[in-house]
Amino acid sequence: MSSGNYPGAMGPGPGGPHSGPGPFGTGAVPPRPGQPPVPAPAPAFAGSGPQPGAGSPVSAGPAGPTGTSGGRKRLPLVLSLVAVGIVVVLVVVGIFTVNSVNRSNYGPDAVAVEYLEALEAGDIAKVNDMAPLTVPNGASEELLDAKYLTNATERITDVRVLDTTVNGDTATIDAQYTLGGQEFPLPLSATKDGRTGVFFDNWTLQGPVLPTVSLSLPFVEGVTLNGEEFVPREGTTQYALVPGSYSLATPGGKYWLEAEDTISVGFPDTPAPEPISLTVTPPPTDTYTADVQKAVESALTECAKQKNVVNEGCPFTAEGEDQGLTTTEDVPDGSVEFSIDSQPTVEAELSADLAAGSFRTTTAGEYSWTGESKEHDNQRLWKGSGPLDPSGSVFIENDTVRVEFW
């Protein structure tokens, strides 16, 4: 074998061992004697795919669209788009949820339902806190105390909102309630007044107008309204009431029986309603009738002791006429003699204040009289008779009666 040098052969040179430019340059394995030369592996390029194995083609160009580097570049963009989509969805859902809660829990109809339910429960404090009830005609508010409504035999029930119309910051609410088994309409109005918290509307109701009642009853101790003690004002007074039923009762006494009057009142349909009358007129007792009868008989007996033709305060006289001559002209005062032949039967009534009353005759009695004549030397020639059917007033003082004839 020749011992001459060949390009790239081992030996001294500028590139050092295996550094020559020949086919067995950098990375080449020198052939053994008698073996063909082994080529060096192809250089790897940045960004290339998997390294090729034996018999695999070598990719020397840039990475294709399915390369790992391209997928890594698009991943942040995809994640950003997904994040934005999630945020948008959350915002839309949030807006929908807020609007839904605002309508269902804070809308004018929801406020009206809460208000009506408080009325139905008799929670007057909550009612007035939400929307004070409107008291018309300057009526007294004394009977708006919840204790009078609590014992009512009838109260409003089945309150509900039928329809709500919103026009900007105002709303009209068509509500309904039941009282005594009958349904009644109740129109309400509301105004939007700012917000509750950050997101929700604040609707304020206008309280409905209350009914009023005019009480007429005796001024006696022990008056009750729906079983609760009540001291009425003297005379006839108008009071505002929460819709329901009310029973006004007076206790019995010596001359009157227990009495009661009951009314049922709902919301009026006018802003200035006429008051409903609630009047208690206790009927008289048998004792009252008997005492008045005795008082009438006693007063007639006293009148019979009078001696004049006409006596003030007495229900009978000795007036008469004969042949153009009248007793007032011919009979001297002090000469008349009266006689009660039979007493009348009377019936008596009580006044509303239980402090007085009246009586009238149901069965007339009889009286007779005689008188002297001036024309005939004071002889007792005049005589007469007549029915005894008085009527008059009764006065009650310290559980006794006194009568006066009309």
How is residue 204 annotated by DSSP? E
For 69-78, 124-133, 211-220, 300-309, which range has the lowest pLDDT when averaged over its residues?
Answer: 69-78
- CA torsion 59→60→63→68, rounded to 10°? 60
φ, ψ for residue 99, nearest 5 deg = -65, -40
Domains in the chain: boundaries: 106-132+154-205, 212-279, 286-405
Binned at pLDDT 50, 70 and 90, residue 25 comes out as very low
pLDDT for the residue numbered 368: 98
* C-beta neighbour count of 269 within 10 angstroms: 11
186: buried, middle or exposed (CB in 10 Å: 19+, 13-18, 0-12)?
Answer: buried
Closest to 364 in 3D by CA, of 349, 347, 345, 391: 345
Q: What is the length of the chain?
A: 406
At 350-385, the pLDDT tens digits run: 987 889 999 999 999 999 999 999 999 999 999 999
Higher pLDDT, 150 or 56: 150
pTM exceeds 0.95, yes or no: no
C-alpha–C-alpha distance, residues 372 and 299, integer Å: 25
C-alpha–C-alpha distance, residues 387 and 380, integer Å: 22
And the tokens for 209? 């107008």
In this structure, the strands spanning 212-216 and 237-240 are antiparallel
CATH of domain 106-132+154-205: 3.10.450.50
3-state secondary structure of 135: coil
Q: What is the full DSSP assignment across 297-366? A: HHHHHHHHT--SSS-TT-S-----EETTEEHHHHSPTT--EEEEEE--EEEEEE-TTSSEEEEEEEE-EE
And the tokens for 44? 């790897």
Query: Treating both helix axes as pointing N-terminal to C-terminal, what angle do 108-121 and 68-106 enclose, rounded to 10 degrees?
Result: 40
Residue showing tokens 């990719």? 59
At 319-357, the pLDDT tens digits run: 999 989 999 999 999 999 999 999 999 999 998 788 999
Q: Describe the chain by its helix, strand, coil percentages, rounded to 5.
A: 20, 35, 45
3-state secondary structure of 218: coil
For 63-67, 125-129, 387-391, 395-399, which range has the lowest pLDDT when averaged over its residues?
Answer: 63-67
| Distance from chain centroid for Cα 373 | 82
Binned at pLDDT 50, 70 and 90, residue 38 comes out as low
C-alpha–C-alpha distance, residues 187 and 20, integer Å: 107
Q: Which residues of 297-311 are buried (b: 16+ CB within 10 A; e: fewer)?
A: bebbeebbebebbeb
How is residue 256 annotated by DSSP? B
pLDDT for the residue numbered 233: 80
At 155-198, the pLDDT tens digits run: 999 999 999 999 999 999 999 999 999 999 999 999 998 677 55
Residue type present at position 164: T
Is residue 266 within 8 A of residue 184, CB to CB? The reply is: yes
φ, ψ for residue 291, nearest 5 deg = -70, -35
377 φψ region: left (φ > 0), alpha (ψ -120 to 50), beta (else): left
pLDDT for the residue numbered 53: 44
